[in-house]
């Protein structure tokens, strides 16, 4: 087996990955509640994967109701080393048409009704989000997308909106002026939480629509999104299989594996032990490194 265990968060239209072998379902529970669904653990070749459908099988959860803390905690507890998020996205740029895949490298977070951190009173951490995705994983994902036959844009800024309603036309124009390239409802706080969990994270979006900024095109409706997703789901699945081929045998350490060394600022003597205990696998490494093992 290679040293990677890739957590895959499947977005709208992606509720399973057929290529997984030796699969088992894991019922997970976390201090934040249950993740979106049972985890599907398996392998492709000699790479381990843990798959989680973001909205639950059957698409039961709205973007606001997706428990991103539970999802990331469950993937960390299942031994994931890295996380690949797959999402449906609207395009805010002419040159990113429906069908195109975008490897996101920046975010603007406009979500307002979500829990955005594992940390808080008694255990305070401030991780950097200047570079919110892992460049190594993102590059491999872009290569895998091309091998799967997709047209891939290797960079793009993702505007995370609260939803569940789509944007007004004025908002869509505003986000374009802000420099956003694509729009979705789920990339945040998922990316922030992955960083807090010391999990290198990459997000590949499948463009399903032009949102509503174009005067010459129909504005986004959910049936258009679903039709585009159906057309692209097979490519997304083969992207995952190609990623398994491309991952190097040895997983060199990433700086993201140890971000809490700097970011966790509460002194051991003043730490809320119960809070630290509830965080379990999120802080186990850094506390052990600081001599606070046993929490
Ligand atoms: C089904 S249309 C809107 C829905 O699709 C995207 O979901 P995901 O990011 O999980 O693929 C978008 O963010 C909205 O949640
Ligand atoms: N236009 C759009 N806005 C928000 N989320 C989306 N997901 C797919 N298309 C979208």
pLDDT higher than threshold 90 for residue 28: yes
Q: What pLDDT was estimated at residue 294?
A: 45
Phi, psi of 214 (to 5 degrees): -85, 130
**13 ligand 2 Cβ < 6 A:** no
List the catalytic residue out of 105, 143, 181, 211: 211
Domains annotated for the chain, with CATH where assigned, are: 5-254 (3.40.50.1580)
Task: Quick: pLDDT tens for 173-185.
Answer: 999 999 999 999 9
Of the CA atoms within 13 Å of residue 96, those in its CB half-sphere come to 28
Residues 174, 92, 166, CA angle at the centre, nearest 5°?
Answer: 70
Task: Quick: pLDDT tens for 238-286.
Answer: 999 999 999 999 999 999 999 999 999 999 899 999 999 999 999 999 9
**183 ligand 2 Cβ < 6 A:** yes
ipTM, 2 decimals? 0.99
Residues 6+ away with beta carbon under 8 Å from 227: none
Of the CA atoms within 13 Å of residue 287, those in its CB half-sphere come to 22
- Say whether 209 is catalytic: yes
The number of beta carbons lying within 10 Å of the beta carbon of residue 176 is 16
**End-to-end alpha-carbon separation of the chain, Å?**
30
Whether the CB-CB separation of 189 and 212 falls below 8 Å is answered with no
Task: Quick: pLDDT tens for 30-71.
Answer: 999 999 999 999 999 999 999 999 999 999 999 999 999 999
The number of beta carbons lying within 10 Å of the beta carbon of residue 3 is 13
- Least confident among 103-117, 144-158, 229-243: 229-243
List the catalytic residue out of 209, 216, 223, 272: 209
> Is the pTM for the entire model greater than 0.90?
yes
Q: What pLDDT was estimated at residue 292?
A: 63
Q: What is the mean pLDDT of residues 147-152?
A: 97
Task: From residue 89, give the alpha-carbon distance in Å to each of 85, 92, 122, 127, 190.
Answer: 12, 10, 37, 26, 15
In the three-class reduction of DSSP (H, G, I as helix; E, B as strand; rest coil), residue 247 is classed as coil
């Amino acid at each position: 087996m290679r040293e990677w265990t890739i957590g895959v968060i499947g977005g709208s239209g992606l509720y399973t990955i057929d290529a997984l072998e030796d699969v088992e379902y894991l019922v997970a529970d976390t201090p934040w509640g249950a993740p979106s669904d049972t985890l599907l653990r398996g392998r492709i070749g000699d790479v381990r994967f843990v798959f989680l459908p973001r909205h639950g099988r059957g698409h039961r959860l709205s973007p606001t109701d997706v428990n991103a803390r539970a999802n990331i905690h469950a993937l960390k507890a299942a031994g994931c080393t890295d996380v690949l998020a797959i999402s449906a996205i609207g395009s805010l740029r002419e040159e990113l048409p429906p069908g195109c895949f975008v490897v996101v490298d920046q975010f603007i977070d406009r979500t307002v009704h979500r829990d955005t951190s594992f940390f808080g009173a008694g255990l305070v951490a401030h991780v950097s989000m200047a570079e919110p995705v892992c460049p190594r994983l993102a590059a491999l994902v872009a290569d895998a997308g091309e091998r799967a036959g997709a047209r891939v844009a290797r960079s793009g800024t993702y505007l995370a909106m609260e939803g569940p309603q789509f944007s007004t036309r004025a908002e869509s124009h505003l986000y374009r002026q802000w420099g956003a390239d694509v729009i979705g409802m789920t990339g945040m706080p998922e990316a922030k939480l992955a960083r807090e969990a010391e999990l290198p994270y990459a997000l590949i979006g499948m463009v399903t629509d032009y949102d509503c900024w174009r005067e010459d095109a129909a504005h986004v409706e959910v049936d258009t999104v679903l039709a585009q997703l159906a057309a692209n789901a097979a490519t997304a699945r083969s992207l995952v299989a190609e990623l398994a081929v491309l991952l190097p045998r040895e997983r060199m350490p990433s700086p993201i594996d140890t971000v809490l060394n700097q970011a966790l600022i509460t002194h051991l003597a003043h730490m809320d032990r119960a809070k630290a205990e509830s965080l379990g696998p999120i802080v186990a490494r850094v506390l052990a490194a600081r001599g606070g093992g046993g929490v």
